[in-house]
A and B are shown apart, each in its own frame.
Chain A
Amino acid sequence: DGGITQSPKYLFRKEGQNVTLSCEQNLNHDAMYWYRQDPGQGLRLIYYSQIVNDFQKGDIAEGYSVSREKKESFPLTVTSAQKNPTAFYLCASSPDRMEKLFFGSGTQLSVL
């Protein structure tokens, strides 16, 4: 059953803590993306990767880091430098033509 799996569904972060959100896809897509969604708002791009071992900053990359060591995996780390991390985080992938994104079910990150 092909798709994108995000975990965990809910995550809590303590002050000064780094947390990592997982994103795995078995669609054999080259491109993967991380978006942040705040309540009642659209999606803002954090990072994207077009190929393994390469990634680019999106519009709001500060306080976040990513890696792309495998085609299937694109984890996002929310660092302690991100002062307002509470949001819904969405991972997506696409074949390399920007014609359709496939989304995971999201991770809700909250601050304790």
Chain B
Amino acid sequence: SQQGEEDPQALSIQEGENATMNCSYKTSINNLQWYRQNSGRGLVHLILIRSNEREKHSGRLRVTLDTSKKSSSLLITASRAADTASYFCATAGGSARQLTFGSGTQLTVLP
């Protein structure tokens, strides 16, 4: 089942601008993760935020988590053409021994 839903489905921005993607989920979670996928390739883990954290940074990435709204956002600052990819959120919750992925946001950064 698709736990997370990303918004928007597609986003196109100019190089140097910031990109914000949102993820909503339905049930309680232990952690929420963001992954990146280049076309035709596997996913790469970007960042993890735990349910007791509200914000986390890694390089040009900033992730926020609002457990009361069951939502998360991923901000990529000063985007580059190389950031063009699909971005997925994934949730790990309760006793589930698996991650549940959302449907993804396709980000295009124009040079």
Interface residues of chain A, those whose CB is within 8 Å of chain B, are 4, 6, 31, 33, 35, 40-45, 48, 50, 56, 58-59, 88, 90, 92, 98-106, 108
- Whether the Cβ atoms of B1 and A102 lie closer than 8 Å is no
Let me know if B43 and A90 touch, CB within 8 A. Answer: yes
Question: Of A41, A48, A102, which one neighbours B98 at CB under 8 angstroms?
Answer: A48
A4 to B41, CA, bound (A): 13
- Measured in the bound complex, the distance between the Cα atoms of B42 and A6 in whole Å is 10
Chain B residues proximal to chain A, CB less than 8 Å? 1-2, 4, 30-31, 33, 35, 40-45, 48, 88, 90, 92, 96-104, 106
Judged by DSSP, the binding face of A is: strand
- Chain A residues with Cβ below 8 Å from B45 are 100-102
**Across the two chains, which residue of chain B brings its CB closest to A48?**
B98
A105-B104 in contact given A31-B97, A98-B30, A98-B99 (Cβ < 8 Å):
no
A41 touches B104 (CB 8 A): yes
16 sampled A-B residue pairs with Cβ under 8 A: A33-B98, A40-B104, A42-B88, A43-B88, A43-B101, A44-B101, A45-B98, A48-B97, A48-B98, A98-B31, A98-B97, A98-B99, A99-B31, A99-B48, A100-B33, A104-B42
